[in-house]
Amino acid sequence: GKSMKEKRVSALNAEIAEKRRLMRAAYGKACITPTELAAEVGYSPHARFGDMWAQRNGIPPVQLGPRKRVYEIDLVAKAIVQARGMC
């Protein structure tokens, strides 16, 4: 059979895949803005909170223009699920 660690890893991966699917369905796109990210992780919907959270979780912004940046939902979903497992 699988070891406990393997079981935990596959459960985590399934949770990440589900979160990614839910977020992609909710936003209808592959990336979200810092403001959307802030709201998603439970902060007031302000860009700076989204940026702060992303930075803390090691998620690099994707620059779309001089002032426009977004974050990849796949990376955000993974970080949210991993953070959830730590508390």
DSSP per residue, 26-76? HHSSSEE-HHHHHHHTTS-S-HHHHHHHHHHTTPPPEESSSS-EEEEHHHH
pLDDT digits (tens, 9 = 90+) for 23-63: 999 999 999 999 999 999 999 999 999 999 999 999 999 99
Contact 34, 47 (CB under 8 A): yes
- pLDDT confidence of residue 84: 82
pLDDT in tens, 2-13: 899 999 889 999
Task: Tell me the pTM.
Answer: 0.89
pLDDT value of residue 79: 97
